[in-house]
């Protein structure tokens, strides 16, 4: 509940790290359009350190189930569904009794939602960031898809800046083979440019396997040893990030940290780094199977070789 009498703007985006990062431009649009409102964000509780870094959000509303938003304050003045196209998430926000509702049109939701047809936006705007901005633009809230940067903490000394290798991904379809990540890590390791291997606690065994095959000391494996805030700071000060199509790639984009991102089943035109930045998205669309939830690596991902990654790394590394 807000600690004051301000009207409430509430946005829903209860997903994962990368999903929240691509919604940052839309959240900032909502903040600019309602400077005097109390802005609440209903999102996954584990993303709290990232919410602090986005700025402008007054309340994080821990939301594990987007079909039931646990808001206990006054009826919001405006709600924005950045979570999906409904109907469950629309109904959860309807239940809060807002004055104004913004979201993609859903025929099975309650009437009164302002927005666009999802299919029309997908056709006109390939990237996920641009799609949510287009939704807000359509209802009179100016939004800039390039407004995705996060402010970094104190700059790391160049001599201490590591190369971050992140071999994990939520699904096997997006996981490049261990031996290839290890070859890349071994090739990039230098006394003045240490390589560290990151990941979630569940990915620690994977990270240890990469480090062992690359000849890196066990201490270089940070998987399971960093919380989200520490990972943000690590990426912000890194020399380079190499990963598959997963959350840490979006962190690199947010901090303008040079990155090489390996794409398999998903088109980088939808989820890739911003154009013009110090980033390379590697993709082999002709080989793409396009099953993002499969257990085995997509053929397009396997078509990317170690030399491809090292050449891209040399082009962007700072």
Domain count, the chain: 2
pLDDT > 80? residue 110: no
Confidence class for position 159, pLDDT limits 50, 70, 90: low
149 is a domain residue: no
225 and 286 housed in the same domain? yes
Query: For residue range 169-190, what is the model confidence (pLDDT) as tens digits?
Result: 999 999 999 999 999 999 999 9
% of the chain with per-residue pLDDT over 70: 96
What is the secondary structure of 224-260 as a DSSP string?
TT--HHHHHHHHHT-SEEEEESSHHHHHHHHTT--EE
Q: What is the mean pLDDT of residues 242-258?
A: 97
172 and 290 housed in the same domain? yes
130 is a domain residue: yes
254 is a domain residue: yes
Query: For residue range 41-56, what is the model confidence (pLDDT) as tens digits?
Result: 999 999 999 999 999 9
Final residue before a domain boundary, out of 91, 107, 138:
138
Q: What is the CATH number of the domain that holds 254?
A: 3.40.50.2000
- Rounded CA-CA distance 231/258 in Å is 15
Confidence class for position 109, pLDDT limits 50, 70, 90: low
Contact criterion met (CB below 8 Å) for 197 and 167: yes
47 is a domain residue: yes
* pLDDT at position 107: 74
Query: For residue range 207-245, what is the model confidence (pLDDT) as tens digits?
Result: 999 999 999 999 999 999 999 999 999 999 999 999 999
48 and 164 housed in the same domain? no
300 is a domain residue: yes
Q: Could you tell me the pTM of the whole model?
A: 0.95
pLDDT > 70? residue 156: no
163 and 291 housed in the same domain? yes
305 and 276 housed in the same domain? yes
Contact criterion met (CB below 8 Å) for 222 and 241: no
147 is a domain residue: no
* pLDDT at position 222: 98
212 and 299 housed in the same domain? yes
pLDDT > 60? residue 157: no
183 and 55 housed in the same domain? no
Contact criterion met (CB below 8 Å) for 277 and 256: yes
Helix (H) or strand (E) holding 42: strand 38-43
95 and 194 housed in the same domain? no
- What mean pLDDT is reported for the chain? 94
84 and 211 housed in the same domain? no
82 and 195 housed in the same domain? no
Query: For residue range 116-153, what is the model confidence (pLDDT) as tens digits?
Result: 999 999 999 999 999 999 999 999 999 999 999 998 87
45 and 191 housed in the same domain? no
Confidence class for position 318, pLDDT limits 50, 70, 90: low
Return the closest-CA partner of residue 221 out of 191, 242, 244, 200.
200
146 is a domain residue: no
Which range of residues forms the domain containing residue 132? 8-138
Least confident segment among 151-155, 236-240, 248-252, 269-273: 151-155
- Rounded CA-CA distance 223/56 in Å is 30
303 and 234 housed in the same domain? yes
């Amino acid at each position: 509940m807000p600690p004051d009498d301000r009207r409430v703007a509430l946005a829903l985006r209860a997903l994962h790290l990368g999903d929240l990062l691509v919604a940052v431009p839309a959240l900032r649009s909502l903040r600019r359009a309602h400077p005097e409102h109390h802005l609440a964000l209903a999102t996954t509780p584990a993303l709290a350190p990232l919410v602090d870094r986005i700025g402008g959000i007054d309340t994080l509303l821990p939301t594990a189930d987007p079909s039931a938003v646990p808001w206990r304050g006054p009826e919001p003045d405006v709600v924005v569904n950045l979570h999906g196209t409904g109907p469950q998430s629309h109904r959860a926000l309807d239940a809060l009794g807002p004055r104004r509702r913004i979201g993609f049109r859903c025929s099975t939701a309650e009437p009164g939602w302002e927005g666009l047809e999802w299919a029309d936006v997908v056709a006109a705007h390939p990237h996920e960031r641009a799609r949510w901005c287009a939704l807000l633009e359509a209802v009179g809230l100016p939004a800039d898809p390039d407004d995705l940067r996060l402010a970094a903490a104190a700059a790391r000394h160049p001599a201490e800046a590591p190369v971050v290798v992140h071999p994990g991904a939520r699904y096997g379809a997006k996981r490049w083979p261990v031996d290839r990540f290890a070859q890349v890590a071994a090739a990039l390791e230098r006394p003045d440019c240490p390589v560290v291997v990151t990941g979630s606690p569940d990915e620690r065994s994977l990270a240890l396997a990469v480090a062992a095959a690359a000849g890196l000391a066990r201490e270089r494996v940070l998987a399971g040893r960093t919380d989200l805030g520490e990972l943000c700071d690590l990426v912000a000060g890194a020399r380079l990030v190499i990963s598959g199509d997963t959350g840490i790639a979006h962190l690199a984009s947010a901090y303008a940290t040079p990155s090489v991102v390996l794409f398999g089943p998903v088109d980088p035109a939808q989820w890739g780094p911003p154009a013009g930045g110090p980033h390379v998205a590697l993709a082999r669309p002709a080989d793409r199977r396009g099953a993002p939830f499969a257990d085995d690596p997509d053929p397009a991902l396997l078509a990317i070789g170690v030399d491809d990654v090292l050449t891209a790394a040399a082009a962007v590394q700072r």
